[in-house]
């Protein structure tokens, strides 16, 4: 049986969540529920079998010192 949960968040975060929910065709409540359901999932074990493409990407960014400014710069270059 669904139950009510109150979250206290910054207004800007609430607006971003509403926009993301609208784009995905879900409610904010459903997005939160989807996220919480992931928390129940046990962590991926190192013995789990991945598709070859996924396996090739594992650890690709390990040790990278990237932040939001780097991503913005990437987008500026990409859409120049």
DSSP secondary structure string, 9-52? --HHHHHHHHHHHHHHTS-HHHHHHHHHHHHHSPPPPTTS---H
- Give Cα separations from 59 to 2, 11, 75 (angstroms): 38, 35, 23
Q: What is the pLDDT of residues 52-63, one digit of tens each?
A: 888 888 888 788
Residue among 12, 10, 35 nearest 24 (CA): 35
What are the extents of the domains in the chain?
9-58
- 44 — pLDDT class (breaks 50, 70, 90): low
Distance, in Å, from the CA atom of 57 to the CA atom of 7, rounded to the nearest integer, reads: 35
Residue 67, pLDDT score: 86
- Give mean pLDDT, residues 15-42: 89
Residue 23, pLDDT score: 93
Residue 47, pLDDT score: 63
pTM of the model: 0.48
Residue 19 has pLDDT above 90, yes or no: yes
């Amino acid at each position: 049986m669904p139950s009510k949960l109150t979250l206290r968040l910054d207004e800007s975060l609430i607006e971003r969540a509403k926009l993301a929910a609208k784009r995905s065709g879900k409610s904010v409540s459903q997005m939160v529920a989807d996220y919480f359901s992931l928390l129940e999932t046990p962590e991926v074990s190192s013995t789990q079998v991945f598709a070859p493409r996924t396996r090739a990407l594992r650890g690709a960014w390990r040790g990278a010192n990237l932040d939001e400014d780097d991503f913005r710069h990437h987008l500026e270059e990409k859409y120049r």
